[in-house]
Structure 1
Amino acid sequence: MTPEEKSPSSPHATFVVDDVLDVYAAANSALAKAFEAVLENAVEHNDAEAPRVEVSMAADERNVEAVVADNGPGIAEGELDLVLGLEEPDQVRHGQGIDLFFVSELMAEYSGRITVEPNDPRGTAFTFHLRRQSAP
């Protein structure tokens, strides 16, 4: 992808990619599915007139972080566990985010984590926190 372009599968959304680093993290090919799940959710649940998703990376000697931030409605306070599929509202209704549950569980398998916080001025930012490793 170029730094800013439309995706063929989501032509109404703009994706901006910044700071792609040439680093390695403790993960495997399933990480691509985790990113895909977060990117799909950023577009699918976006109610903005012009949906926009920004992806950036940062790294230091020990860690690699990748951030997926959108300009959607955000996640209401107190609903994060429900959205991540970690909590069920009751015995009849189940969590909303099986894909995001997969992401959360996968990050734990990598000894990493995913954090979710509001994106300023609007939307949600998902940050993948991974251990950095040397090139194979």
Structure 2
Amino acid sequence: MAIDTGEWNDIHPVDKKTLGQRLALAARAVVYGEQVIYRGPELASLQADGATLLLSFDQIAAGLNLKGDAATINQSFAIAGADGKFQWAAAELVGKQQINQLRLSHPDIKQPVQVRYAFADNPNAVLYNSAGLPASPFVAALPVARH
């Protein structure tokens, strides 16, 4: 909810209005039962798709958005193979009628099994729903077959 409102060097962000508006949306939905969008995208599923990971999300409103330049976006998601060595991943929005998926890849990772988003002390928030609400940081992994 507040991942994109702070500053790297201050726990008291200048932009309190955005956070207040988001908290008000949550109160309207949770306390008063109004049908308003108050949460950012939430990872619903993770699946391997060849040399890529396909992430599906709930809480997307009318769809997902990536905000920022390509360099920032491509340093917000990291994937790893079974060796656990994470590399920054290229991110591509996917969807037919509604964009609710994200495809991640890295040329050196042939079978990705793990993903991290915004996994840093002061991460860049780049994944949003169409209501302008950011996704929270997450880590997810596929089951790995042991031979």
- TM-score calculated relative to the size of structure 2: 0.30
- TM-score calculated relative to the size of structure 1: 0.31
Structure with the larger helix share: 1
Structure of higher CA gyration radius = 2
